[in-house]
Chains A and B, each alone.
Chain A
Amino acid sequence: MQPRTSSRTVTRKPRDLRPRGVPEFAFTEADVRQVSSALSEPDWLLERRLAAWAQYQATPMPTLKDEAWRRTDLSGFPADGAARRPAEDLPIDRELLQPLTGKPGSALMVLRPGFAAQREGAADQGVLLLDWATAVHDHEDWLREHLGTIVPDGEGKFASLAAALAEDAVVVYVPPGVEASQPLHSILWAPARTGLHLSRVLVILGRGSSLTYVHEAASPTEAAGQAIHAGIVELKLDEGARLTFVELQSWGEHVWNITHERARLGRDSALDWIFGAVGSHLTKNFTEIDLAGQGAEGRMSGFYFADGDQHLDHDTQQNHLAPNGTSDLLFKGALLDRSRSVWQGMIYVAPGAQKTDGYQANRNLVLSPHARADSIPGLEILADDVRCTHGATVGQLEAEPVFYLMSRGLPRREAERLVVDGFFAPVLERVPFEGVRERFARMIDMKMSRGQ
């Protein structure tokens, strides 16, 4: 008998890594002039905007070939046709107005693109919480001295765009020696089905001062919408200053959100930076801490929870530029459905930054077989007397603790939710405010109930 032979043709489709064209925005230099003119800005600020616009034009749109964007694909980015337009006149989500730091009556600012900033409550003596227009008109010299010193206008394509066209900003200043007992709270509320919103946050703490500041960015989800937010966050702590900065992001799930954020820490200063991210269709967040002064301490705690087809990409950098600095990063995230997270972290220790103590960890809980978490820690050490450690894990929900809780009468849904709560507990314990912890817990509940 003849052996049977079979021929089979296997066709392999090569993975297409060619950069797909990401459309450019259709703005022109005239738009930049119009923004500056509408805000009655001084000449130097117009010049800065124009310079940023030139940098924007000179920088190509990022593609998968760019190292920082290798895992975040901007194809489908709705830049063409995106216009700057006022936010829709929807009332702000009342939950956002709840005091998160347990101190009612503290200063609150609500920014709504296209509308005048709303201000409630009072800040401590000497502490400034300003919207853009007030900062430009009442504190022009101060603004000129500090704006763009932490995140240069040419930091990236979207930083240049925000520097050229942003109309909404929160500016905070704490004078030297002032320890603000009242926390500050600002909200960027930008409901919009389509369009582009650009924002800036600038926080300067004088020598020996201290502050707690909560900044939130939010909008409702518009099912058929495609909107964009690009932003810059700059934090500067002078010698001995202490800042607790809580940053919450709950953009609607139609929003493409790209931000460039950096803190510069002076000698013996301390920053406790807390992130919470549950919103947006796609987030690309560049976050850096520069420990520029001897003995500076930077702590970053991140919480993210994605579902649906959300894509959350956090790119963190801890730059030890002076001796005796301490940095401690913990990012924890959970993923449902077809969502994806990317965390790429780097600890850089400059030559001479001896006695550095750097730590970074990223833990991911993948709750769906279709979700994916990429975790890429990195160290670059150019000093010889340092301690740097890092760790990254991607895991699934453990069956054993779920079974244990179910054996005590809890339904599977609640048991799983409790285990997820427990997963986030180490990062929630780093949050010093009950209101923020409760907000995070509600975010977890909301995501878990949608996923079941």
Chain B
Amino acid sequence: MKKSVTPGQVPAAGVRRVAVGELVDVLCDHNEDGERVRGWLQGVVVQADYKLVAVQFLEDVYLTDGWMVPDRILFCQQGADNIRPSTRRRLRRARARRR
């Protein structure tokens, strides 16, 4: 079942921009304990410009209509409400996953 957490995609002006290599949390659909949830998931910024950020995840991530994103990369707008600097240290991958 899909749980809903605070949605928000409104970009704010004059906010800190993230750069390549930074750890960020992104509000997105992903799996947690075998259940599809919408919540914050840690990823790493692999591409960034003044407008857009591409974030790579270790876990499967999904579009809101349910489709999985094959390469686990989502885009966000710089300064949007659904991306924030990660407050946790880099998570190690728990185990090798078969897709």
Which chain A residues lie closer than 8 Å to B15 at the CB level?
none
Which of these binds chain B: A30-38, A110-118, A408-416?
A: A408-416
B28 part of interface (Cβ distance < 8 Å): yes
Which chain A residues lie closer than 8 Å to B46 at the CB level?
none
Chain A interface, number of residues (Cβ within 8 angstroms): 14
Taken residue by residue from 225 to 255, chain A's Cβ proximity to chain B (1 for < 8 Å, 0 otherwise) reads as 0000000000000000000000000000000
A413 to B64, CA, bound (A): 14
Which of B13, B52, B64, B67 interacts with A418 by CB under 8 Å?
B52
Closest to A449 in B: B10
Q: How many A-B residue pairs have CB under 8 A?
A: 36
A266 to B28, CA, bound (A): 59
Closest to B73 in A: A408
Taken residue by residue from 43 to 73, chain B's Cβ proximity to chain A (1 for < 8 Å, 0 otherwise) reads as 0000000011010000001011001010001
Query: Is the CB–CB distance between A409 and B13 below 8 Å?
Result: no
Q: Least Cβ distance of A156 to chain B in Å?
A: 40
Query: Is the CB–CB distance between B51 and A409 below 8 Å?
Result: no
Query: Is the CB–CB distance between B77 and A418 below 8 Å?
Result: yes
A411 to B65, CA, bound (A): 10
B74 part of interface (Cβ distance < 8 Å): yes
Query: Is the CB–CB distance between A411 and B69 below 8 Å?
Result: no
Which chain B residues lie closer than 8 Å to A414 at the CB level?
9, 11, 77, 80
Which chain B residues lie closer than 8 Å to A411 at the CB level?
9, 64
Query: Is the CB–CB distance between A409 and B77 below 8 Å?
Result: no
CB contact list, A393-412 vs B, under 8 A:
405-411
Query: Is the CB–CB distance between A409 and B52 below 8 Å?
Result: no
A408 to B9, CA, bound (A): 14
Which of A406, A421, A442 interacts with B13 by CB under 8 Å?
A442
Which chain A residues lie closer than 8 Å to B77 at the CB level?
410, 414, 418
Which of A410, A413, A442, A445 interacts with B75 by CB under 8 Å?
A410
By secondary structure, the A interface counts as: helix
A411, A414, A445 pick with most chain B CB within 10 angstroms: A414
Q: Least Cβ distance of B74 to chain A in Å?
A: 4
Q: Least Cβ distance of B61 to chain A in Å?
A: 7
Query: Is the CB–CB distance between A407 and B13 below 8 Å?
Result: no
Query: Is the CB–CB distance between A421 and B51 below 8 Å?
Result: yes
A399 to B60, CA, bound (A): 26
Query: Is the CB–CB distance between B51 and A408 below 8 Å?
Result: no
Q: Least Cβ distance of A145 to chain B in Å?
A: 45
Given A418-B51, A418-B52, A442-B13, is A408 in contact with B64 using a C-beta cutoff of 8 Å? no
Closest to B63 in A: A409
Query: Is the CB–CB distance between A408 and B75 below 8 Å?
Result: yes
Q: Least Cβ distance of A98 to chain B in Å?
A: 11
A150 to B94, CA, bound (A): 74
A405, A411, A421 pick with most chain B CB within 10 angstroms: A411
B28, B63, B67 pick with most chain A CB within 10 angstroms: B63
Which chain B residues lie closer than 8 Å to A438 at the CB level?
13
Closest to B27 in A: A409
Query: Is the CB–CB distance between A408 and B13 below 8 Å?
Result: no
A411 to B73, CA, bound (A): 15
A438 to B74, CA, bound (A): 25
A409 to B11, CA, bound (A): 15
Closest to B80 in A: A414
Which chain A residues lie closer than 8 Å to B52 at the CB level?
418
A405 to B61, CA, bound (A): 15
Query: Is the CB–CB distance between B69 and A407 below 8 Å?
Result: yes
A410 to B28, CA, bound (A): 10
Query: Is the CB–CB distance between B63 and A406 below 8 Å?
Result: yes
Which chain B residues lie closer than 8 Å to A409 at the CB level?
28, 61, 63-64, 69, 74-76
Query: Is the CB–CB distance between B63 and A407 below 8 Å?
Result: yes
Taken residue by residue from 410 to 432, chain A's Cβ proximity to chain B (1 for < 8 Å, 0 otherwise) reads as 11011000100100000000000
Closest to A405 in B: B75
Closest to B13 in A: A442
Which chain B residues lie closer than 8 Å to A418 at the CB level?
51-52, 77
Closest to B65 in A: A406
Which chain B residues lie closer than 8 Å to A410 at the CB level?
9, 75-77
A344 to B78, CA, bound (A): 37
A285 to B63, CA, bound (A): 46
With A409-B74, A414-B80 known, 8 other A-B pairs at CB within 8 A are A406-B63, A407-B69, A409-B61, A411-B9, A414-B11, A414-B77, A438-B13, A445-B11
Which residues of B are interface residues toward A (Cβ below 8 A)? 9, 11, 13, 28, 51-52, 54, 61, 63-64, 67, 69, 73-77, 80
6 A-B pairs with C-beta separation under 8 A? A407-B67, A407-B69, A409-B75, A414-B11, A414-B80, A442-B13
